[in-house]
Amino acid sequence: TELESGGAGLLSTVSDYARFLNALTGHGTSPEGVRILSQASVELMRTDHLNEMTRADYSWDHMYGYGYGLGVRTHISKAGSGSLSPIGEFGWSGAAGCMAIIDPDSELTVMYAQHLLNSQEPYVQRRLRNVVYSCL
Domain limits for position 130: 14-134
Q: What percent of the chain has pLDDT over 90?
A: 65
Per-residue model confidence as pLDDT tens digits over 4-23: 665 666 678 889 999 999 99
User: Cα Rg for the chain, rounded, in angstroms?
Assistant: 15
Q: Could you tell me if 58 and 68 are in contact, meaning their C-beta atoms sit under 8 angstroms apart?
A: yes
Question: Residue 30 falls within a domain, yes or no?
Answer: yes
Q: What are phi and psi of 132, to 5 degrees?
A: -60, -50
pTM: 0.88
Residue 2 lies in a domain: no
Q: What average pLDDT does this structure show over 89-98?
A: 86
Among 59, 89, 86, 85, smallest CA distance to 73 is for 89
- Whole-angstrom distance, CA of residue 42 vs CA of residue 71: 11
CATH number for position 112: 3.40.710.10
Instruction: Give CA–CA dist 120/61, Å, rounded.
Output: 12
- Residue at 5 is within a domain: no
Q: What is the pLDDT of residues 20-47, one digit of tens each?
A: 999 999 999 999 999 999 999 999 999 9
Q: Total domain count for the chain?
A: 1
Angle at 75 between CA 74 and CA 78, to 5 degrees: 170
The answer as to whether 125 is a domain residue is yes
* Residue 8 covered by a domain: no
Q: What is the mean pLDDT of residues 55-80?
A: 91
Q: Does the pLDDT at position 2 exceed 80?
A: no
